[in-house]
């Protein structure tokens, strides 16, 4: 039976002012006045059914009779069954039961558990509000016993809409009865005073000596917590709490502490911990503020401890500025070990004496300082939306991102069960306070429930995973609508520091989404999100890809390639539209981050034509919650450098979001990463952000000179023992520590010869350990090498990292660096010596050549790296930033005349396919004669490559005052039809001559001369000189007795010219071209010429020698902005003079292309000798418009004619009109689709449509890249 005693005023979201059960404050009375009376507002006995109760989750609500228990004399009750989750429960809507916003009520619930029910340990009934999930009261669930829940609360419809009777996680499967629910309101003759929160209770240290758990319960409900006498820390005591049965990193013992807290005060938390197993593990003491998806989790103290260490104290402090949730816990967990077991004892929780904080209201709001530039955002939880924290948030920010509340596991924990209540309350509060909301995140491999893409540990089928992905994206986006300004659609899909960023798909993380759907899951996610937005044109919402470590240039390039490829392909069918609107640079940096790398990445992403946001900015400085003045200023300096950069690019940046309000609540709290300290006071970092220029001027960073040393000429034996020759080399102390702990020490020495650098490192250690699977966390040494000492802030082709552990196990960065590398290790006790031989790959070594160099010792103990020491670098960024290396100068080589690098180089003979002939200098010409016998011997010794070809290198080393290098080669070798390549390597260029080059050329001299010379700019007109600038200009010739030789038909020589691109050119490498310059000084672009970032050279093939130059050409047209999907292709092809514009600097991208014109373009792009192979079976009208179907056939034929046949068997299932194509065209289309040359047009092949100039340029561009 239901009795409703008052009507309600509003039906809005609501939440409770929560005060723990059992210590309610009395209602105040006026002196001498009458006590307030209780008026019943709602009373339900369930005698006539379920009343106002509504199903929550998957629960079944069944009215029953005959179930009498304490507090339910009439036996009528509501049976809540079919429970699997804590939220499978009964809701009572405020509007349905007559509760009014702003009024205070007392609710009392009587319940019961059947005596035959199995009740897990720690199971409790909960009373809470929905949607904020404010906890009101709890009671233990016991089989055969009644329970009661009672609590006074204030309705707040801006946060909540209902009361819910449910359970905690431990009781998630336990059915229960609700026998009676009564809600009363206090009424008094006079005005009622606001009930204050009761003062904090005093905390008594928990020692477990009473043989109870002291209030501790498992966070997951599956842990085993046992009071035991197996271990004890308490003086004179016998017991501790044993924690076992953990199966997740977040599992562990937790204790509710809200009743011991006064709002705004700081508390010191201590716990003594003893590890059981494994032998070593990371553990951490943390605190949780709030419950559910809007909770905040803060690490207070983290340590890696060993079982042999015995009892270890964990201690930290936290200021509880927000207690409105009335759900505060302290707990222990492990960030990286899901199964570690341990004991805990002597738990303390006491005030530090530091009272509530106030914010500095006289500061310049950050949002005001940048109001003309970009939004200023912050990551928030419910803790940040009340009191002093809300004041700070609103003062400085105009945008917000939910830290956890909008992630997949928070919004859809089980399939079809969308839980928006917490996120809605957070979003609505943000908007109510006048800020904008960013949505984070729709698709991520973390904080996503496994059911989305995995079943029983195995990937779901592609179809099922795609359906889950699309459903989640659509449901979430439609729910929040235009309450958000943007979404992170996909988060962190890219691997760190991928070795081959050009292949972005191979650079993706092998996440559960990837394993279930494939590498296109990123694209599929954006397509699903775009589909929702297309259905709602009234929404102005941007779709972002978001990732971290984006200052790593390999990772940034892979992200760039991914976004560009996806957007380009989308634009083919959707002109003038982007699929990915923006790139989010997370910005989790540290004081050693090089802002030049951030700049490179930022400009790279801006060049995509998308907006950019800095989405999760923080800068680590200091450790163990301590920050020195020096590091605080260094942190401020980096923040200033970053904001100086952001201001300079403000027109392309939408938002800069900090990941947290203050150091105390940061996910990186121990390293003090934010602008405000734990007392909410501004740090130097704030002032660096507010006025970057002034801060930079006033805080010049401390600089440390790079260490310098020398490497002596000499060749040791690589056996791990130091030969006598090592006595020539000076020691380099490895003593600059990157860690607070100073562990293993050592020294390094270096030697060199004409082909290798040799390094010897001696290590003094106390323990040798390689138990960690991460190679960098094993006892090992590392050598870093920058062959050209370029001091770039990112790795180029000449840079590398070599790692060798004490067991002589090697690893390399990039991975392919190991070719030709050798090492040996000798271990003596816990000390070891490493010897290594590193081949020079990009330079010709010689006296006074300077290398970027560093040596490092990694010291591991019990499964974790505890110490890192280097010869030069103190930043720890050497794995990605060669600018932090020291300098090693090569010295000591004596030539055969007793001088250093004098007029000649002694002959080295033939060794492993490489010849270093004697060089004679004659008036600026370096001439080397190579005999037939030495070449023959080299060919005999060379090992064939996989294709059967042998490769011989003739190296002409750099000579002083030399502008021409000439190799005199035996003619009959080049007339031989043997399968080999002969490389003539000079400082200006390397020429790769194929076997049979002079076959049929009619040369009858004994020798021919291959000459490489620096080109003369004097022969060029002023315009050409200006276009070439400082780029390479070379002259190549092949002569016999001084006469030019034309070699055999069809043979090509490959030429590689060293080339260092500018910053602009690195962003647009496809616009670096090679020109052939004829005798009149006219330039012609060579279509096949291009820049090879891997080798740092421009590479081209030629069938004749002449003068050649490299240049940077940025060709564009006024009307290509209308076809963004084709713009890159048009400009790259125009830069190579393959396509041309029309009058008025226009390209006319929509105009049709004739068959004759497209054939000519194919011939030019692929450098075919003629069009004979293309016109077989061609159409009669060569000058008429070419259909897309005929284009497909011609393109496939052209590739075959160029020696680039395509694999057959691609699928046309995605194209609705594929069946309308002819047999030859359909086969060709399948092959071109598989090769990525064609992607269709609005979901169709459109075979009968006329080919446009823009489409033609895209096709040519794609086959040029094959």
pLDDT digits (tens, 9 = 90+) for 604-635: 999 999 999 999 999 999 877 888 888 899 99
Q: Please give the pLDDT value at position 67.
A: 92
Q: Please give the pLDDT value at position 912.
A: 46
Residue 980 CA to residue 1003 CA, distance in Å, equals 20
Of the residues 156, 345, 547, 862, which is catalytic?
547
Q: Please give the pLDDT value at position 30.
A: 31
* Domains of the chain listed by start with CATH number: 2-187 (2.60.120.260), 217-351 (2.60.120.260), 366-698 (3.20.20.80), 708-780+792-885 (2.60.40.1190), 910-1112 (2.60.220), 1122-1265 (no CATH)
Say if residues 789 and 852 touch (Cβ distance below 8 Å). yes
Q: Please give the pLDDT value at position 5.
A: 39
Say if residues 267 and 200 touch (Cβ distance below 8 Å). no
Number of residues written out for the chain: 1266
172: how many CB neighbours lie within 10 A of its CB?
18
Q: Which two tokens stand for residue 643?
A: 């904001």
**b (16+ CB within 10 A) / e for 926-947:** bbbbbeeebbeebbeebeeeee
Handedness of CA 59, 62, 68, 72 (dihedral sign): positive
Whether this prediction's pTM lies above 0.85 is answered by: no
Q: What is the DSSP letter of 210?
A: T
241: which strand partners?
A: 227, 344
164: which strand partners?
A: 91, 128
What distance lies between CA 207 and its chain's CA centroid?
A: 44
Q: Please give the pLDDT value at position 788.
A: 93
Query: Which candidate, 1176, 1171, 1125, 1135, places its Cα nearest to that of 1264?
Result: 1135
Residue 982 CA to residue 950 CA, distance in Å, equals 9
> What would the pLDDT profile of 889-923 be if each residue is shown by its tens digit?
998 886 533 333 333 333 333 444 678 899 998 88
Q: Please give the pLDDT value at position 1048.
A: 62
**H-assigned helices in 481-593:** 512-517, 521-534, 553-573
3-state secondary structure of 184: strand
In order, the DSSP letters of 1021-1061 are -HHHHHHHTTS-EEEEEEEETTEE----TT--EEEEEE---
Q: Say whether 596 is catalytic.
A: no
Between the CA atoms of 475, 479, 483 and 485, what dihedral angle is there, to the nearest 10 degrees?
0
Q: What radius of gyration, in Å, describes the C-alpha atoms of the chain?
A: 37
Q: Which two tokens stand for residue 1077?
A: 């310059």
Q: Say whether 547 is catalytic.
A: yes
Q: Which parts of the chain sit beneath pLDDT 70?
A: 1-37, 187-196, 702-705, 740-741, 894-913, 945-947, 1048-1049, 1063, 1094, 1176-1181
Q: Please give the pLDDT value at position 949.
A: 80
In order, the DSSP letters of 372-411 are TT-EEEEEE-GGGSSHHHHHHHHHH-SEEEESSTTSHHHH
Of the residues 488, 616, 787, 1131, which is catalytic?
616
Say if residues 733 and 871 touch (Cβ distance below 8 Å). yes
What distance lies between CA 672 and its chain's CA centroid?
A: 22
List CB contacts of 325: < 8 A, sequence separation 6 or more: 18, 132, 133, 134, 135, 289, 290, 291, 295, 382, 383
Say if residues 167 and 117 touch (Cβ distance below 8 Å). no
Residue 1190 CA to residue 1117 CA, distance in Å, equals 27
Q: Distances from the Cα of 181 to the Cαs of 54, 148, 223, in angstroms?
A: 14, 10, 33
Q: Say whether 1142 is catalytic.
A: no
Of the residues 180, 333, 492, 873, which is catalytic?
492
Q: Which two tokens stand for residue 328?
A: 């505060």
Residue 1179 CA to residue 1158 CA, distance in Å, equals 13
């Amino acid at each position: 039976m239901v009795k409703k005693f008052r009507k309600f005023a509003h039906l809005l979201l609501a939440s409770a002012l929560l005060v723990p059960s059992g210590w309610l404050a009395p209602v105040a009375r006026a002196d001498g006045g009458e006590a307030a009376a209780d008026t019943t507002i709602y009373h339900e006995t369930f005698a006539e059914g379920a009343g106002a109760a509504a199903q929550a989750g998957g629960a079944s609500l069944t009215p029953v009779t005959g179930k009498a228990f304490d507090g339910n004399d009439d036996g009528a009750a509501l049976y809540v069954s079919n429970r699997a989750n804590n939220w499978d429960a009964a809701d009572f809507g405020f509007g349905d039961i007559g509760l009014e916003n702003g009024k205070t009520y007392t609710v009392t619930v009587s319940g019961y558990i059947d005596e035959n029910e199995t009740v897990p340990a720690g199971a409790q009934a909960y009373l809470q509000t929905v949607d904020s999930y404010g906890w009101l009261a709890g009671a233990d669930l016991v089989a055969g016993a009644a329970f009661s829940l009672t609590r006074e609360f204030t309705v707040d419809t801006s946060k909540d809409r209902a009361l819910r009777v449910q359970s905690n996680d431990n009781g998630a499967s336990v059915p229960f009865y609700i026998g009676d629910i009564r809600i009363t309101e206090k009424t008094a003759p006079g005005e009622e005073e606001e009930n204050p929160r009761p003062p904090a209770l005093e905390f008594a240290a928990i020692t477990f000596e009473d043989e109870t758990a002291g209030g501790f319960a498992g966070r997951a409900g599956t842990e085993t917590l046992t009071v035991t006498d197996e271990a004890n820390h308490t003086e004179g005591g016998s017991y501790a709490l044993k924690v076992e049965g953990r199966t997740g990193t977040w599992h562990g013992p937790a204790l509710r502490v809200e009743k011991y807290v006064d709002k705004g005060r700081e508390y010191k938390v201590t716990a003594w911990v003893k590890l059981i197993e494994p032998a070593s593990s990371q553990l951490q003491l943390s605190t949780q503020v709030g419950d559910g998806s809007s909770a905040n989790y803060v690490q207070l103290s983290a340590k890696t401890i060993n079982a042999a260490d015995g009892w270890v104290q964990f201690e930290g402090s936290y200021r509880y500025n927000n207690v409105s949730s009335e759900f505060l816990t302290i707990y222990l967990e492990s960030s990286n070990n899901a199964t570690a077991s341990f004991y805990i004892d002597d738990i303390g929780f006491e005030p530090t004496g530091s009272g509530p904080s106030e914010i500095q209201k006289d500061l310049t709001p950050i949002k005001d300082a940048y109001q003309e530039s970009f939004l200023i955002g912050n990551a928030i939880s419910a803790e940040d939306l009340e009191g002093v924290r809300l004041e700070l948030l609103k003062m400085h920010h105009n945008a917000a991102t939910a830290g956890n509340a909008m992630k997949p596991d928070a919004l859809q924990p089980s399939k079809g069960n969308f839980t928006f209540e917490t996120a809605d309350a957070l979003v609505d509060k943000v908007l109510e306070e006048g800020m904008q909301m960013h949505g984070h995140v729709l698709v991520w491999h973390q904080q996503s429930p496994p059911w989305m893409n995995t079943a029983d540990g195995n990937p779901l089928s592609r179809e099922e995973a795609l359906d889950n992905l699309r459903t989640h994206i659509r449901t979430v986006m439609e729910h929040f609508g235009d309450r958000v300004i943007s979404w992170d659609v996909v988060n962190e899909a890219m691997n760190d520091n991928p070795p081959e960023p050009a292949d972005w798909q191979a650079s993706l993380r092998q996440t559960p989404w990837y394993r279930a759907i494939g590498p296109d899951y990123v694209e599929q996610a954006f397509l699903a999100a775009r589909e929702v937005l297309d259905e709602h044109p009234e929404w102005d919402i941007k779709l972002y890809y978001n990732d971290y470590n984006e200052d790593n240039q390999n990772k940034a390039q892979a992200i760039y390639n991914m976004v560009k490829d996806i957007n380009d392909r989308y634009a083919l069918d959707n002109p003038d539209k982007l699929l990915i609107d923006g790139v989010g640079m997370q910005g989790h940096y540290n004081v050693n981050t090089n802002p030049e790398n951030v700049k490179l990445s930022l400009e790279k992403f801006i060049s995509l034509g998308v907006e950019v946001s800095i989405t999760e900015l923080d800068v680590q400085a200091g450790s163990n919650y301590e920050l020195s003045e020096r590091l605080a200023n260094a942190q401020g300096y980096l923040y200033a450098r970053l904001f100086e950069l952001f201001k300079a690019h403000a027109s392309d940046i939408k938002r800069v979001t900090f990941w947290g309000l203050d150091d105390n609540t940061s996910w990186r709290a121990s390293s003090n990463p934010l602008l405000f300290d734990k007392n909410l006071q501004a740090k130097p970092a704030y002032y660096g952000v507010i006025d970057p220029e002034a801060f930079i001027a006033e805080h010049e960073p401390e600089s440390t000179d790079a260490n310098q040393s020398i490497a002596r000429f000499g060749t040791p034996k690589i056996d791990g023992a130091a030969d006598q020759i090592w006595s020539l080399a000076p020691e380099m102390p490895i003593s600059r520590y990157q860690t607070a702990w100073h562990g293993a020490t050592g020294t390094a020495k270096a030697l060199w010869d004409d082909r290798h650098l040799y390094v010897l490192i001696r290590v003094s250690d106390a323990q040798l350990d390689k138990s960690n699977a991460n190679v960098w966390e094993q006892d090992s040494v590392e050598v870093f090498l920058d062959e050209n000492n370029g001091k770039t802030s990112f790795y180029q082709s000449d840079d590398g990292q070599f790692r060798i552990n004490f067991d002589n196990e090697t690893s390399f960065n990039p991975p392919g660096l190991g070719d030709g590398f050798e090492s040996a290790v000798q271990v003596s006790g816990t000390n070891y010596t490493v010897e290594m031989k590193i081949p020079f790959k990009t330079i010709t070594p010689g006296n006074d050549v300077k290398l970027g160099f560093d040596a490092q010792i990694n010291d591991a103990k019990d499964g974790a790296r505890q110490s890192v020491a280097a010869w030069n670098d103190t930043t720890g960024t050497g794995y990605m930033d060669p600018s932090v290396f020291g300098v090693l100068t090569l010295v000591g080589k004596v030539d055969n005349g007793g001088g250093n690098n004098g007029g000649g180089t002694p002959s080295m003979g033939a060794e492993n396919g490489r010849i270093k002939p004697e060089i004679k200098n004659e008036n600026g010409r370096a001439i080397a004669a190579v005999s037939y016998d030495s070449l023959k011997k080299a060919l005999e010794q060379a090992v064939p490559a996989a294709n059967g070809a042998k490769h011989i290198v003739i190296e002409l080393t750099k000579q002083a005052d030399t502008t021409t290098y000439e190799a005199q080669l035996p003619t009959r070798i080049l007339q031989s039809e043997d399968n080999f390549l002969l490389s003539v390597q000079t400082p200006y260029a390397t020429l790769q001559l194929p076997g049979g080059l002079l076959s049929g050329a009619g040369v009858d001299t004994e020798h021919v001369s291959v000459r490489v010379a620096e080109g003369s700019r004097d022969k060029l007109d002023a315009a050409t000189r200006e276009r070439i600038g400082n780029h390479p200009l070379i002259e190549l010739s092949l002569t016999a007795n001084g006469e030019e030789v034309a070699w055999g038909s069809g043979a090509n020589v490959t030429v590689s010219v060293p080339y260092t691109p500018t910053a602009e050119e690195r962003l647009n490498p496809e616009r670096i071209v090679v020109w052939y310059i004829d005798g009149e000084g006219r330039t012609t672009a060579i279509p096949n010429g291009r820049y090879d970032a891997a080798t740092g050279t421009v590479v081209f093939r030629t069938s004749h020698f002449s003068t050649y130059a490299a240049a940077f050409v940025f060709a564009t047209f006024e009307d290509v902005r209308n076809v963004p999907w084709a713009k890159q292709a048009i400009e790259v092809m125009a830069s190579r003079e393959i396509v041309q514009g029309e009058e008025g600097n226009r390209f006319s991208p929509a105009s049709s292309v004739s068959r004759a014109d497209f054939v000519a373009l194919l011939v030019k792009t692929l450098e075919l000798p003629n069009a004979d192979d293309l016109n077989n079976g061609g159409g009669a009208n060569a000058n008429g418009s070419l259909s897309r179907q005929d284009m497909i056939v011609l393109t496939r034929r052209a590739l075959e004619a160029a020696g680039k046949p395509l694999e057959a068997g691609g699928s046309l299932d995605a194209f609705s009109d594929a069946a309308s194509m002819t047999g030859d065209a359909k086969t060709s289309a399948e092959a071109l689709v598989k090769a990525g040359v064609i992607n269709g047009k609005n979901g169709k092949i459109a075979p009968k449509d006329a080919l446009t100039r823009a489409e033609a340029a895209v096709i040519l561009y794609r086959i040029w890249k094959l």
